[in-house]
């Protein structure tokens, strides 16, 4: 086995496949503005390599992993345009991965194509309920897989539709493990809902939508209390303290809402 081949004995196989130069011509006529990234999660080496090869020939940037744990790590840290996910995997199974990806991280609305064995009749329902977008039973023809993958990549993402429909000030913000959804007035810290008062929410939203920008106490007063007759700049300090207790891991050593001595406050740079 050569160095470029995949290890069959290691617990996890991760490699990025790039099509050889000559092969890129095929994808030229349908070249996208940006090369789509695909994560393939499949423990059977020959299927994994087949998918990698053919999606690579389509001009896609393909990364493949062989076990569930590694899939969670990759899907939790980098955004992909498509995930092809085998149901039966060592470690964490495909359904659990699907649910975890949908729950949090950068791939919550990524299209997921689930691969299963044909005899597992209930997989289709299970797979779709878990948040998969499409399903392909093994053994499948590679042309069909490529066609399904292409169809999923063409489908507009939920986040794109939402972004087009929602005014900028109401778009959800992701920053330092926080998910802030102004339309629903909801905040999640590492996936867990946190209750904030209207003032706490406004303060967080102002700072989080301008990371790294310092706001004076006076500037925050006018934004957080539109009718600020009875509040003073000290009120901003108390509000910051309360907000930190809600969202910071250690409110005494904040990592998200930072004090800028002599100036005011800012959200930490991203």
- Interaction site with Ca ion (CB under 5 A): 43, 86, 88
Residue corresponding to tokens 């791939």: 107
Neighbour order of strands in the sheet with 82-86: 15-17, 61-65, 37-41, 82-86, 112-117, 134-138
CB 175 within 8 A of CB 267: yes
Identify which of residues 86 and 133 has a Cβ nearer to Ca ion in the complex. Answer: 86
Q: Min. distance of Cβ 67 from Ca ion in angstroms?
A: 10
Q: Min. distance of Cβ 89 from Ca ion in angstroms?
A: 6
Identify which of residues 23 and 45 has a Cβ nearer to Ca ion in the complex. Answer: 45
Identify which of residues 88 and 175 has a Cβ nearer to Ca ion in the complex. Answer: 88
Q: Min. distance of Cβ 137 from Ca ion in angstroms?
A: 13
Q: In which region does residue 110 sit, left (phi positive, over 0), alpha (psi from -120 to 50) or beta (all else)? A: beta
Identify which of residues 89 and 204 has a Cβ nearer to Ca ion in the complex. Answer: 89
CB 120 within 8 A of CB 136: no
Taking CB atoms, the residue at the shortest distance from Ca ion is: 88
Rounded Cα–Cα distance for residues 37 and 62 (Å): 6
CB 68 within 8 A of CB 90: yes
Q: Min. distance of Cβ 160 from Ca ion in angstroms?
A: 32
Q: Min. distance of Cβ 122 from Ca ion in angstroms?
A: 17
Q: What is the DSSP string of 259-270?
A: EETTTEEEEPP-
Q: Min. distance of Cβ 138 from Ca ion in angstroms?
A: 9
Q: Min. distance of Cβ 57 from Ca ion in angstroms?
A: 23
Q: Min. distance of Cβ 95 from Ca ion in angstroms?
A: 13
CB 220 within 8 A of CB 236: yes
Q: What is the DSSP string of 53-105?
A: HHHHHTT-EEEEESSHHHHHHHHHHS--SEEEEESS-SSS-HHHHHHHHHHSS
Identify which of residues 88 and 189 has a Cβ nearer to Ca ion in the complex. Answer: 88
Rounded Cα–Cα distance for residues 155 and 196 (Å): 36
Identify which of residues 66 and 236 has a Cβ nearer to Ca ion in the complex. Answer: 66
Rounded Cα–Cα distance for residues 158 and 161 (Å): 5
Identify which of residues 45 and 214 has a Cβ nearer to Ca ion in the complex. Answer: 45
Identify which of residues 93 and 174 has a Cβ nearer to Ca ion in the complex. Answer: 93
């Amino acid at each position: 086995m050569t160095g470029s081949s995949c290890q069959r004995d290691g617990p996890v196989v991760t490699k990025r496949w790039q099509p050889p130069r000559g092969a890129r011509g095929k994808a030229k006529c349908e070249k996208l503005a940006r090369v789509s990234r695909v994560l393939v999660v499949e423990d059977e080496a020959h299927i994994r390599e087949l998918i990698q090869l053919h999606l690579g020939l389509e001009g896609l940037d393909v990364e493949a992993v062989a076990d569930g744990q590694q899939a969670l790590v990759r899907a939790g840290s980098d955004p992909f345009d498509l995930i092809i996910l085998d149901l039966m995997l060592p470690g964490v199974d495909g359904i659990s991965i699907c649910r975890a990806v949908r729950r949090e991280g950068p791939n919550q609305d990524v299209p997921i194509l689930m691969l299963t064995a044909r005899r597992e009749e209930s997989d289709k329902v299970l797979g779709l309920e878990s948040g998969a977008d499409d399903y392909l039973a093994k053994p499948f023809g590679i042309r069909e897989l490529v066609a399904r993958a292409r169809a999923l990549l063409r489908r507009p993402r939920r986040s794109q539709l939402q972004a087009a429909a929602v005014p900028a000030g109401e778009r959800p913000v992701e920053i330092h493990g926080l998910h802030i959804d102004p339309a629903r007035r909801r905040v999640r810290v590492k996936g867990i809902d946190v209750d904030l008062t209207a003032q706490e929410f406004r303060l967080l939203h102002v700072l989080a939508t301008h990371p790294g920008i310092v706001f004076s106490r006076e500037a925050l007063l006018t934004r957080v209390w539109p009718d600020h007759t009875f509040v003073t700049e000290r009120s901003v300090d108390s509000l910051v303290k309360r907000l930190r207790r809600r969202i910071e891991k250690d409110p005494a050593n904040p990592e998200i809402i930072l004090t800028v001595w002599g100036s005011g406050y800012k959200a930490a740079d991203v």
